[in-house]
Structures are given as structure tokens and as C-alpha cells.
Amino acid sequence: VLNGTEINGLAKRVKILLFEKKRIKVLTTDNAWQTDIPASVILNKSGNTEYSRKVSEVLGINNIKYVFNKESGLDLTIVLGED
């Protein structure tokens, strides 16, 4: 989960929310490359649409992009924006 806003601790709060609501384990949280990202996005890296659907349900993010990169070992990257 990457925080693309100026709200301190947002990525960590989303990590906790995902685990509490759907038992989704988040491996890392960090800041995104910038702090003024206007819209949140789910980057699906594995092609498993079930993970994207679960995260979308919990967070209300409907912007899902497919960026296949199985070598990364990650299913998703969530970039949190101002919305």
C-alpha cells in the first residue's frame, strides 16, 4: 500500500482495515513517489481478479489497472490518492 497523499499514516491505516475486514495481509506500506495523486488505483500484478475485487469492496476503489509482473511476487499494489 502506497500513500499518495499528505495524510500521515494513511497507508498503515488501510493495511489494518484490509486485515480486519477481509483478512488481507499487506506486506509493506510506504509513501508513493508523490503526495498529490488525485485518484486511488489498484494495480493488479498477478492477474488474480479475486484479490482486486476484495480490495475494491473494502476501500471503494473502482479504478483497477492490470500491470502483469509475476516476477515481483506481489498480487497487488494499492496507490492511495486524494479521493
Residue-wise pLDDT tens digits, 4-61: 999 999 999 999 999 999 999 999 999 999 999 999 999 999 888 998 999 999 999 9
Contact predicate 82/63, CB 8 Å: no
Q: Does position 73 have pLDDT exceeding 90, yes or no?
A: no
Given CA atoms 9, 15, 18, 20 in this order, what sign does their dihedral have?
negative
More confidently predicted of 73 and 42:
42
How many residues are there in the chain?
83
Q: Does position 69 have pLDDT exceeding 90, yes or no?
A: no
Q: Does position 74 have pLDDT exceeding 90, yes or no?
A: no
Rounded to an integer, the average pLDDT of 64-72 is 82
